[in-house]
Amino acid sequence: MSVQAVSDKDFQTVVVEDEGPVLVDFWAEWCGPCKMLMPIVEEVAGEMKDKIKVVKVNIDESPEAPTKYGVRGIPTLMVFKGGKVVDTRVGGMPKSQLAEWLAGQV
């Protein structure tokens, strides 16, 4: 799988300390739109694996990172570069829209 699960414990090293770009998918097991978006994120991650690292953070198991970065609704997708958030999208989206958005970030 091209999407790495990240917890609060390793968020700093895997996401913030990476020069990027890194896409972070904040999600939860009970979230219907998150479950619909996950296969799309995984597919795009596979297609863009040489250009962007993709990770997912379960907000129930790791509440610190989403709180620190102001996640209010899920799914929330954030692109980090050089340890800073450069763009954010909230809610589901079709594969074409996700791929186009990420292409503009790499």
Catalytic residue chosen out of the listed positions 34, 65, 71, 79: 34
* Neighbour-count burial of 37, counting CB atoms closer than 10 A to its CB (0-12 exposed, 13-18 middle, 19+ buried): buried
Dihedral of alpha carbons 77, 18, 67, 55, sign: positive
Q: Is 31 a catalytic residue?
A: yes
What are the beta bridge partners of residue 70? Answer: none
Catalytic residue chosen out of the listed positions 24, 31, 59, 74: 31
Q: Is 96 a catalytic residue?
A: no
Catalytic residues: 31, 34
